[in-house]
Structure 1
Amino acid sequence: MRRLLVPAVVAVLLAAGCSGDPVPSAPAPVDNTAMVLADASEPGSLNPLLGYAPYGAARFYDGLMEFGPTKVPQTVLAAQQPQPAPDGRSWTVKVRQDGVRFSDGSKLTVDDVVATYQALLDPVYASPLRASYDMLSAVVKVDASTVRFDLAYPYPALPTKLTLGILPHTALTPPGPLANSPVNAKPVGTGPYQLVSWTKGDRMVLQANKSYFGGAPKVSKVTVLFQPDDAKRAEQARAGQLDGAEVSPQQAVAFAKVDGVRVITQDSADFRAITLPTANRVTGDKAVRLALNYAVDRKALIGSALAGKGSPAYTPMPGSMPEFIETQATYRYDKAEAARVLEQAGWVPGADGVRAKDGVQARFTLLYPTGDTERAAVAQAFATQVKAIGVQVEATALAPEAITARGGADAQVLGGGDPFNPDTGFAPVLHTGGALNPGGYSNAQVDTALDNARKATDPARRATAYRQAQRAYTADPGLVVLAFVNHTYVVHDEWTGYQPVTEPAVHGALGWGPWWNLQTWGPR
């Protein structure tokens, strides 16, 4: 373990949101094969069929394919790139036959691949991922080395859906709800690491898989501490308890002044947006929605709330997919236009400066997770800016589960997105009934364009459809999309192995983050 010895900058970190006095101590004995990381979130399950590591970079599992520095999925358990049928209604995949083994000692076979995807499709297993794989109609064993994915409709992006961690078929028998599976807490996979222990609410300990087909990792032991509070996590790093952690953008600025620590700023497709629930009498008003989009100075918000670690955004389509971006789908910063839109719709200022219409004041609550200093800063900056047009926003911290329960009534600071496939990172935010659409946004033109895009086999037609969706959305917005954030981390500089990558919203010590390729890391 390498320690982050940084007591000289305590005052700077205190100003960035940390608390506590310096804790000077003698350096602990160094173990250059063990690493201690801190994560903001703890997984509810380690079962890939229940949503663990949906974009790959799973510590315990491998998928047929994986993402990396390029947008093109690369083979892992697949022996070669997936091949589509001429009509686009099926894909065949050759599975590795070179002795890959699961952590229980069993050998990987086509049967394991088929069983994993069949369990995803079979209602008896109740996988929450089923809806996001509705393009799949069947998974068939062709021969001892080949599996075929039959589709309900052509889906050109299927290789991006093959990052799901593969389970041994024995872990999926007899059929039954996945909620009862032993794999949830005791993963069995082919990945570079194996679980030693999991103390829920505290930590997880991993050990290197010495028989990993890609070579045994040099980092032989990884301890992941779970700490949802940004300030406390940064304090752990300051006290020399960690080899790496995610920190808020403001804290990253302070850590940049620390010797022996590397601050990593990772590009991401992780957007920040303010949801505008349709059931709310204020946020459901189309004029209010449009006016709020004009009223926000996104560059200024990024500078103040994100310490400059981000880029302006107007829709959830990330810059990592420029071929799909509609450059005209934006809003200028124009408070006068925002006021005009509100006035025309009957929202007029009251004596207290807050607008009202038909006896309803332009007030609403904006929720963000307790302990999340970044989203708190975004919420406060947004509230400050829109107050200038007569809209009063009360930023309130709640536990994540409480925010989920109130998603249909109250606004929230929403995050999400992936840089690989707009059908999984963009469409769920804007499509009626989408998995990332807590506010209930619905627009028939947007839905039609998204449906056309996901089924288009011609790249040009697919891009055209996504651009149409963005134009239709910006004419009738259901969110205030603010920025794509950079994820910021601190890592002791005596570790090496970091490789830049654009990561999805899902990130941390157990998937993505700078440790997405942890199996290739080692002491410098």
Structure 2
Amino acid sequence: MTARTVRGVAGATLAAALITGVAACSTPSGGTAAGTAGGDSAVVGIATEPESLSPLLGYGKDGNSKIFDGLLTHDADMKLQPALARALPEVSADGRTYTYALRQGVKFSDGEPFSAEDVVFTYRTILDPKTNNASKTELDAIESVEARGEDTVVFTLKYPYAPFAERTVLPIAPEHVAGRQDVNSGEFTTRPVGTGPYLLTGWSKGEKLSFKANPGYWGGEPAVKKFTMAVIKDDDVRVTRLRSGELDAAILPPNLAKGFEKDKARLGAPPSGSWGMYAAKTFDYRNVTLPTQHKVTGDVAVRQALDIAVDRGAMVDKLLEGAGKPAYGPVPTGSPWFTAGTERAYDLDKARRILDDAGWKTGEDGIRVKDGVRASFPLWYTSGDKIRQDHALAFASDAKKAGIEVRTEAGTWEVIEPRMKTEAVLAGGGSPADPDFDQYQLLTSSLAGDGFNNMAWYDNATVDRALGDARRSGDPAARKAAYDTVQRELVKDPGYVFLTHIDHLYVVNDKWDGLTTQVEPHDHGLGSGPWWNVESWKPKQK
């Protein structure tokens, strides 16, 4: 596929944005079954929704929005392309100045013109301490952002932050609207105005987000005129509604997606076409947080033992049906950023020896004890998420063979979040854009306990230094060496047990041309999957 001129890229929102979906029996459109809609409409089933639709609060920070555009965007191969900027930025020799020439004639959906002042407003507002944006540390490198006339923006950095251009896929908000409201609670957070290919027409929280094509979009009005994202948290319910024809597409866990493909002939195709399955390679991992604040998971020997007591290969084969690979850290094997030699083989005997040597002795019930502390801890996973449930149960089974009791519990994020400091969570993450995008928030001790950042309260001085060195260097070799240090340190001192990297699978009613997938991050739903470029779809000719 050629590079697109309309926008929408990988990533949905922070994991914190997960809230319970309403698995309503009515159709998402409130009328006839969604899957029977005409060729200019599409309804897709997603598992998550954002808490806000304001980019000032973090929405679309990875470039995933259909409502907004960033200065840059990604094409199908995840290469940066101009969006609101006319071209890729000019970068100074010292790597500290980025100059963007802006596209002319672009208007917001309310008809007001887009200008450099909107860019300045967006970045300055996000960096304002009064703005409740949990991701503002991602823009830590910015020293200043200035407008030069209406069509040029200049960023000056504190240090030569190598992946800065990747950060500028962040959506741009209109100053004339958002600047006149409370940034944290104003109407703009749920009724946004942007420059993107779609306009929000309605948001029923926990049920659906509805969009219509923007007739004044600078990249051309999309052929899909109505686009609905049905929020369906439960995997099984998404399958049911897909099969009934209420949905045109949905993301599904591997076992359900492949099962759907196998029995599609028996079940019959939707009225307007046949079903197709799309697979996306990802950086999306599942891991178990091992909080340092807990008497059991805070013990380095326990963490080391669990790290090699898990059978990652079996998880890929049995839980994912081969749609993924073993994970040994945040970087998947096969990535140029992966550190060779940090793979951990399944070795139950060695895990037992580590625990024996550390003084964890097996009790009468088979569970180990040390200094009166029983080797037992809870592991939470989100309700309705079959992938997390399956991983949690498999992890608990493997841990028990080493003499550690893991008690699995299901709940919503509202239930889980207050417990994260001391109780383990089956979590996820991963970003293909740059190692800094995921690893800094995952591992740096300065962000321990900061919402969903560093959920394990991991504290390793060597890792902290390497992460800082990597984000402040413009030298690719130096950055690779720093991230090698991080990955090797995670072998010696794991704050998490990484289990698998997961391929994302989607089942789609095959009635459009232009469908493809990108390499995807952990967060998926709103802007990922085959509908990452829904604005480029065309109805198939009959």
Normalised to the residue count of structure 1, the TM-score between the two structures is 0.92
The one-letter code of the counterpart of 2:99 is T
Residue in 2 that maps onto 1:269: 283
Distance 2:36 2:523 in 1: 33
Distance 1:83 1:26 in 2: 49
Change (3 A) 1:426 1:69: farther
Residue in 1 that maps onto 2:14: none
Residue in 1 that maps onto 2:185: 180
Of residues 435-444 and 475-484 in structure 1, the stretch that sits farther from structure 2 once superposed is 435-444
Deviation per residue, 1:48-83 (Å, 9 max, x gap): 111112211311000001123334321111111112
The one-letter code of the counterpart of 1:285 is D
Residue in 1 that maps onto 2:472: 455
SS in structure 2 at match of 1:289: helix
Percent identity between the two aligned chains: 40
Deviation per residue, 1:91-115 (Å, 9 max, x gap): 1111112x11110101111111111
Residue in 2 that maps onto 1:165: 171
Residue in 1 that maps onto 2:52: 45
TM superposition shift of 1:28:
8.0
Distance 1:29 1:289 in 2: 51
The one-letter code of the counterpart of 1:523 is P
Distance 2:40 2:59 in 1: 26
The one-letter code of the counterpart of 2:304 is L
Residue in 1 that maps onto 2:134: 128
Change (3 A) 1:468 1:33: same
Aligned: 1:464 with 2:481:
yes
Residue in 2 that maps onto 1:357: 370
Residue in 1 that maps onto 2:231: 226
Cα contact 1:306–1:378 (8 A) shared by 2: no
The one-letter code of the counterpart of 2:281 is D
Residue in 1 that maps onto 2:294: 280
Change (3 A) 1:294 1:189: same
Instruction: Give the counterpart of 1:138 among 119, 133, 144.
Output: 144
The one-letter code of the counterpart of 2:317 is G
Cα contact 1:278–1:439 (8 A) shared by 2: yes
Instruction: Give the counterpart of 2:156 among 150, 157, 177.
Output: 150
Instruction: Give the counterpart of 1:487 among 504, 524, 540.
Output: 504
Distance 1:519 1:441 in 2: 41
Distance 1:267 1:517 in 2: 17
Distance 1:238 1:139 in 2: 50
Of residues 82-91 and 365-374 in structure 1, the stretch that sits farther from structure 2 once superposed is 82-91
Aligned: 1:103 with 2:120:
no
TM superposition shift of 1:308:
1.9
Instruction: Give the counterpart of 1:380 among 387, 393, 400.
Output: 393
Instruction: Give the counterpart of 2:410 among 376, 397, 416.
Output: 397
Gaps of 5+ in 2: 1-22, 26-31, 266-273
SS in structure 1 at match of 2:523: coil
Instruction: Give the counterpart of 2:125 among 119, 123, 142.
Output: 119
Cα contact 1:79–1:94 (8 A) shared by 2: yes
Distance 1:363 1:522 in 2: 55
Distance 2:152 2:482 in 1: 33
SS in structure 2 at match of 1:256: helix
Change (3 A) 1:26 1:387: closer
Of residues 239-248 and 30-39 in structure 1, the stretch that sits farther from structure 2 once superposed is 30-39
Distance 1:155 1:28 in 2: 46
Aligned: 1:316 with 2:330:
yes
Matches within 5 A, 1:169-248: 169-174=175-180, 177-248=182-253
What's the RMSD between the two structures over aligned residues? 1.9
Deviation per residue, 1:188-227 (Å, 9 max, x gap): 1110000111122222211001121111111100122111
Residue in 1 that maps onto 2:269: none
The one-letter code of the counterpart of 1:332 is A
Deviation per residue, 1:258-277 (Å, 9 max, x gap): 14211222111111000000
The one-letter code of the counterpart of 1:249 is P
Change (3 A) 1:125 1:365: closer
Cα contact 2:211–2:228 (8 A) shared by 1: yes
Residue in 1 that maps onto 2:443: 430
Deviation per residue, 1:278-302 (Å, 9 max, x gap): 0111111100000001111101012
Cα contact 2:173–2:194 (8 A) shared by 1: yes
Change (3 A) 1:26 1:207: closer
SS in structure 1 at match of 2:148: strand
SS in structure 1 at match of 2:445: coil
Cα contact 1:433–1:440 (8 A) shared by 2: no
Deviation per residue, 1:386-416 (Å, 9 max, x gap): 2111111111101112111111111111101
The one-letter code of the counterpart of 1:226 is V
Residue in 2 that maps onto 1:521: 537
Aligned: 1:68 with 2:75:
yes
Gaps of 5+ in 1: 1-17
Cα contact 1:57–1:511 (8 A) shared by 2: yes
Distance 2:177 2:401 in 1: 58
The one-letter code of the counterpart of 1:348 is K
The one-letter code of the counterpart of 2:185 is N
Residue in 2 that maps onto 1:414: 427
How many residue pairs were aligned?
Answer: 498
Residue in 1 that maps onto 2:10: none
The one-letter code of the counterpart of 2:154 is R
Change (3 A) 1:406 1:28: closer
Deviation per residue, 1:317-375 (Å, 9 max, x gap): 2357x332111122111111101100000011111111111111111111000111110
The one-letter code of the counterpart of 2:530 is P
Distance 1:217 1:496 in 2: 13
The one-letter code of the counterpart of 2:67 is F
Cα contact 2:309–2:399 (8 A) shared by 1: yes
Distance 1:235 1:292 in 2: 37
Distance 1:125 1:43 in 2: 17
TM superposition shift of 1:87:
2.0
SS in structure 2 at match of 1:356: strand
Change (3 A) 1:494 1:59: same
